[in-house]
Amino acid sequence: MQNTENNPVTPQSTAATATPFDVNRIRQDFGILQQSVNGKPLIYLDSAASAQKPECVIQAMTHYYHNDNANVHRGAHTLGDRATAGFEGARKTVQQFLNARESAEIIWVRGTTEAINLVANGLAPELEAGDEIIVSRMEHHANIVPWQLVAERTGSIVRVIDINEAGELDLESYKNLLNAKTRVVAVTQVSNVLGTINPVNELITLAKAAGAYTVIDGAQRVPHGSVDVQALDCDFYAFSSHKLFGPTGIGVLYGKREHLERMPPYQGGGEMIERVSFEKTTFNVLPYKFEAGTPAICEAVGLAAAIDYMQALDRTGMAAHEQKLYELAQERAEKITGLRIIGTAEQKVPVMSFLIDGLHPSDIGTLLDQQGIGIRTGHHCAMPLMEWFNIPGTARASFALYNTEDEVNRLFDALEKIQRLFT
Ligand SMILES: Cc1ncc(COP(=O)(O)O)c(C=O)c1O
């Protein structure tokens, strides 16, 4: 695994000023990790599904409910003003995290899934029969099904970028797919199954040359550092808070203002309107046009606390730590006869999907859980990818900034034992 991504990271790196990365200190911020599960110290290796939350996130949310809770944008009172300040301040934090031009380009959604559904619905009026939408074979269902639904409605066609055995995108296949009918290219920046970091810069440049919109699924990218949407020059970018050490129930859609202005609202209701009458309703300005109903206010405050937490870390040290964890995992995995890693791309985040001859992935998961080790098993919401590898699913260990080398060793000690006992 290399952490020298060809995707740009934001200029506001804190590496020079932050205290050096120290995993033991980091772990003190995550109280949930200090527990036993099934009589063994918990080893949490499922952060790609949902990451744990540092104490500051929990405290920010508790503080909000203890002190500031009210509805936003409408109260003529102090708590309403405080809630609004926290909520809009969080939007600003996200804007800076993504280096978006303005906070009006940051739309609150429930998560990556809703963000992509919003874009697919928003672009639907521009799609015609025969138009083409390109996704890749390694997409999460969240970046496949919304496009299939829109394709069905509009008569457009979903086309698929192939991958190679290592789990890397086949750029030739992509170039061959692009043509004058390509209207949308929707790809993940990092695969949740394979850990592959895709060369989204190149994908975006080529898509733009073909005149297509670019939609980047950043769900698995943001937990490993900030992103610069202006440098990427993508049209849309989506991520979920809960994978970024923030709360569930909130996520972000970034979109370029000119596209968001043109797109119709996603849902109707309060907050997203300018004026309602039975004759004609007009809509609010960005970003509120896309935010119908009372939003997830406390969750926005929590997400901002998570981003602040991440930004204050020595991120060069964090990347080196994650790389060390993956290299150790790889070294240990190679020593297990019959263990096959699914996803061996040159550029990866620390996610390891694997199979062991003679053991079903779900049995591996259950047996590890008995040892206090939490991994994920199954198709990981990527059935077309499983089909391509001709496998029913995988076991997946995903490592995050709070995992240790000792935990990696204990995972592989447990796997060796399981293999000895059950095969
Ligand atoms: C790459 C990727 N995209 C999209 C999603 C969907 O995210 P959410 O369920 O938070 O909407 C996930 C979740 O696992 C993911 O890994």
Residue 128 has which token pair? 């015609």
Distance CA 142, CA 183 (A): 19
The answer to whether the beta carbons of residues 115 and 186 sit under 8 Å apart is: no
Residue 145 CA, ligand 1 centroid: distance in Å: 12
Pocket test of ligand 1: the residue of 46, 192, 216 to mutate, having most ligand atoms within 8 Å of its CB, is 192
Domain spans in the chain, listed from the N-terminal domain onward: 23-53+314-422, 58-311
**Span from the CA of 66 to the centroid of ligand 1 (angstroms):** 31
Atom of ligand 1 nearest to the CA of 112: 11
Residues labelled as active-site residues: 381
The Cα–Cα gap between 30 and 379 comes to 28
Give the three-class secondary structure for 391. coil
Neighbour tally for 335: CB within 10 Å: 9
Query: For the chain (length 423 residues), average pLDDT per consecutive 10?
Result: 43 55 97 98 98 98 98 92 98 98 98 98 98 98 98 98 98 98 98 98 98 98 94 98 98 98 96 95 97 98 98 95 98 98 97 98 98 98 98 97 98 98 91
The rounded Å distance from CA 68 to ligand 1 centre is: 30
The answer to whether 287 and 106 are in contact (CB under 8 A) is yes
pLDDT on residue 212:
98
Interatomic CA distance for residues 96 and 326, integer angstroms: 29
For a ligand 1 pocket test, name from 47, 135, 381, 385 the mutation site with the most ligand atoms within 8 angstroms of its C-beta. 381
Report the pLDDT value the prediction gives residue 1, as an integer from 0 to 100: 57
Q: How many alpha carbons fall within 13 Å on the CB side of residue 25?
A: 7
Q: Nearest C-alpha to atom 7 of ligand 1 is from which residue?
A: 112
Query: What's the gap in Å between 117 CA and the centre of ligand 1?
Result: 12
Q: What fold is seen in the domain 58-311?
A: Aspartate Aminotransferase; domain 2 (3.40.640)
**How far apart are the CA of 71 and the centre of ligand 1, in A?**
28
Of 192, 224, 206, nearest to 323 by C-alpha is 224
pLDDT of res. 11:
35
Report pLDDT for 101.
98
Residue matched to tokens 């036993």: 36
Nearest residue (by CA) to ligand 1, atom 9, is 113
- CATH number of 23-53+314-422, picked from 3.40.50.150, 3.90.1150.10, 3.20.20.140, 3.40.50.300: 3.90.1150.10
Spell out which residues line ligand 1, taking CB within 6 angstroms: 111-113, 140, 142-143, 188, 192, 217, 219-220, 240
Question: Which numbered atom of ligand 1 lies nearest the CA of 139?
Answer: 1
Residue 344 CA to residue 1 CA, distance in Å, equals: 8
**Cβ–Cβ < 8 Å for 290, 257:** no
Calpha distance 106→92 (Å, rounded): 8
Q: For ligand 1, what atom is nearest to the CA of residue 380?
A: 14
CA 381 to ligand 1: nearest atom = 14
Q: Are strands 373-374 and 43-44 parallel, antiparallel or unpaired?
A: parallel
Q: Which of 113, 252, 303, 383 to mutate to test the pocket of ligand 1 (most atoms within 8 A of CB)?
A: 113
Give distance in angstroms: CA of 401 to centre of ligand 1: 19
99-216-93 Cα angle (round to 5): 30
Q: Compute the C-alpha angle 28/33/39, nearest 5°.
A: 135
Report which ligand 1 atom has the smallest distance to the Cα of 115. 11
Rg of the chain on CA atoms, in Å: 22
